[in-house]
A and B are shown apart, each in its own frame.
Chain A
């Protein structure tokens, strides 16, 4: 399959079942909502060392938030419910409780109910106040800027993490420009985040290493500077490879995001140095989900709804 001169490899991305949750963060203005959300989703690129993969899903208009202030929605994903709950609590405590004017609310109504501000209330040292409206419990914790307002619980659902595709280009600037275009298109979609810096990762990994202590190491087959000395996956003209990793609430969301991202890359096409799109997998043995690139790019954009 070739789209606008870009070869789509006959391969698939392999993804895993994860646990996901959404938190709505509001503040006096968007600037401070972002300050809280950026802190909360900082150091959350990969579950390997960060515990969670997290990112900002989108901005919210005042009319969309529970307290009528500007806000952003944040998605967090982890490999298990225990680690997700632990990470949510510590990140809430250090990044949202601390951020001036910020408040936090549940972003998922269904699913299992997990603690959002339930235990943060004890920071109030007995001066905390509970209020229930519309069947939901909120906590008012007195802090130095006034009151920290948080909903007690949010929802946790089964989600999918690790959807991905690789952009192979003739130069580093061209690979990056294509990835930026892809991220811009993918950010318009709900229910997904691209957790790496700016949504793009350059250090794709393979399983295992020559060093016993490491479980993963650089994906030498896709490293352009090793073309001559390793079993390379790259043709001579490829000089740079970048990857976009996608976590989503459902596999349909990841399919849609993958399609939007690859379409944006292909729009730049061979004329802009983009040669190939590939994907990372483990031979199909580890992950519960497989996202076949050619199938995603050939299907009707709306057919994912029924999948």
Chain B
């Protein structure tokens, strides 16, 4: 058995909803059945074999090649198996995913890991706005799991995020951890303005002191024992965060305009 490989061959005019292309949905389907699955694209439905060359038969391991930024909802509601994507993807990568692995070799658009409840997403590239955030109308963003970004992320990283770990090796835009409910976000690079805006609980790990608005308050420098435990849990991750081993931080708490139990830890 070799991985089910879907190589994009069509030139896309419209966005394509790729949510059926998950191991759970394709489980037990024959090559002909997979080829006949209709994907929504704009106001039309398009067969899988009209868009992709299909090879391989192991549906627990899906590889998408030659991908581009019009492919939305890849790995949506994924509950098992793995999806590997070569090329850029559109929005909602790993939307409401529950378990399994997504690896992306390329860039992603907005709402990566929105509603993610478990599993791992690794992105070797950059992501757009609203990483791990709630879509409009949802009360919670990411609810569990681990997301690793080797590049940069846009604005509103972790907006209304509830649980889980987001590790970004590059820089992030404005309003990082805005309205965050809980969980952990780590950023090795720089963060934009209004970091922790409306942050309720949760932890933001930074390596340089950001510009802080008035309702984030300095709680002093500390050696926090729990950081050792957290970094130990990072040890096996495919990320630069795996080698972290310092627990001396400056602790800023806030946002006091919204309960103020969140923390921004800056390594010193």
A130→B229 contact, CB < 8 A: no
Using Cβ atoms and an 8 Å threshold, which residues of chain A touch B261? 126-127, 129
Q: Does A134 contact B (CB under 8 A)?
A: yes
Q: In the complex, A103 Cα to B224 Cα: how many Å?
A: 12
8 Å CB interface, B184-206 against A? 184, 201, 203
Contact with B along A129-142 (1 / 0, CB 8 A): 11111100010100
Partner of B225, one of A132, A133, A134, A146: A146
Given contacts A66-B232, A149-B229, contact A131 B222 (CB under 8 A): no
Q: Does A67 contact B (CB under 8 A)?
A: yes
Using Cβ atoms and an 8 Å threshold, which residues of chain B touch A103? 225
Partner of B201, one of A67, A69, A129, A134: A129
Using Cβ atoms and an 8 Å threshold, which residues of chain A touch B223? 146
Contact with A along B9-44 (1 / 0, CB 8 A): 000000000000000000000000000000000000
Q: In the complex, A127 Cα to B222 Cα: how many Å?
A: 16
Using Cβ atoms and an 8 Å threshold, which residues of chain B touch A126? 261
8 Å CB interface, B163-193 against A? 163, 182, 184
Q: What secondary structure prevails in chain B residues at the interface with A?
A: mixed
Using Cβ atoms and an 8 Å threshold, which residues of chain B touch A146? 222-225
Using Cβ atoms and an 8 Å threshold, which residues of chain A touch B201? 129
8 Å CB interface, B75-134 against A? none
Q: In the complex, A149 Cα to B228 Cα: how many Å?
A: 11
Using Cβ atoms and an 8 Å threshold, which residues of chain B touch A131? 184, 203, 226, 229-230
A138→B226 contact, CB < 8 A: yes
Partner of A68, one of B163, B184, B232, B233: B232
Interface core residue of A66, A133, A147 (most chain B CB under 10 Å)? A133
Nearest CB in chain B to that of A130: its residue = B182
Q: In the complex, A131 Cα to B261 Cα: how many Å?
A: 13
Contact with B along A110-143 (1 / 0, CB 8 A): 0000000000000000110111111000101000
Q: In the complex, A116 Cα to B140 Cα: how many Å?
A: 29
B224→A67 contact, CB < 8 A: no
Using Cβ atoms and an 8 Å threshold, which residues of chain A touch B229? 66-67, 131, 133, 138, 149
Partner of A133, one of B182, B222, B230, B263: B230
Using Cβ atoms and an 8 Å threshold, which residues of chain A touch B182? 130
Nearest CB in chain B to that of A28: its residue = B225
Q: How far is the CB of B165 from chain A (nearest CB, A)?
A: 8
Using Cβ atoms and an 8 Å threshold, which residues of chain B touch A129? 201, 203, 261, 263
A147→B233 contact, CB < 8 A: no
Contact with A along B227-240 (1 / 0, CB 8 A): 01110110000000
B233→A67 contact, CB < 8 A: no
Number of residues of chain B lying within 8 A (CB) of chain A: 17
B226→A140 contact, CB < 8 A: yes
Nearest CB in chain B to that of A126: its residue = B261
Interface core residue of A69, A127, A140 (most chain B CB under 10 Å)? A140
Q: In the complex, A149 Cα to B230 Cα: how many Å?
A: 12
B228→A133 contact, CB < 8 A: no
Q: How far is the CB of A211 from chain B (nearest CB, A)?
A: 52
8 Å CB interface, A139-181 against B? 140, 146-147, 149
Q: How far is the CB of A142 from chain B (nearest CB, A)?
A: 10
Using Cβ atoms and an 8 Å threshold, which residues of chain B touch A130? 182
Given contacts A131-B184, A131-B203, A132-B163, contact A147 B224 (CB under 8 A): yes
A147→B226 contact, CB < 8 A: yes
Q: In the complex, A126 Cα to B203 Cα: how many Å?
A: 16
Nearest CB in chain A to that of B234: its residue = A133
A133→B233 contact, CB < 8 A: yes
8 Å CB interface, A169-212 against B? none
Using Cβ atoms and an 8 Å threshold, which residues of chain A touch B184? 131
Q: How far is the CB of A212 from chain B (nearest CB, A)?
A: 53
Q: How far is the CB of B96 from chain A (nearest CB, A)?
A: 19
Using Cβ atoms and an 8 Å threshold, which residues of chain A touch B226? 67, 131, 138, 140, 147, 149
Q: In the complex, A68 Cα to B203 Cα: how many Å?
A: 22
Using Cβ atoms and an 8 Å threshold, which residues of chain A touch B203? 129, 131
Using Cβ atoms and an 8 Å threshold, which residues of chain B touch A149? 225-226, 229
Q: In the complex, A140 Cα to B222 Cα: how many Å?
A: 14
Q: How far is the CB of A130 from chain B (nearest CB, A)?
A: 7
27 contacts between A and B (CB under 8 A): A66-B229, A66-B232, A67-B225, A67-B226, A67-B228, A69-B225, A69-B228, A126-B261, A127-B261, A129-B201, A129-B261, A129-B263, A131-B203, A131-B226, A131-B230, A133-B229, A133-B230, A133-B233, A138-B229, A140-B224, A140-B226, A146-B222, A146-B225, A147-B225, A147-B226, A149-B226, A149-B229
Which residues of A approach B to under 8 Å, CB–CB?
66-69, 103, 126-127, 129-134, 138, 140, 146-147, 149
Q: A133-B229, A140-B226, A146-B223 are in contact. List 9 more A-B contacts (CB 8 A).
A: A69-B225, A127-B261, A129-B201, A131-B184, A131-B226, A131-B229, A132-B163, A133-B233, A146-B222
4 closest cross-chain pairs (CB), A and B = A133-B233, A134-B233, A67-B228, A149-B225
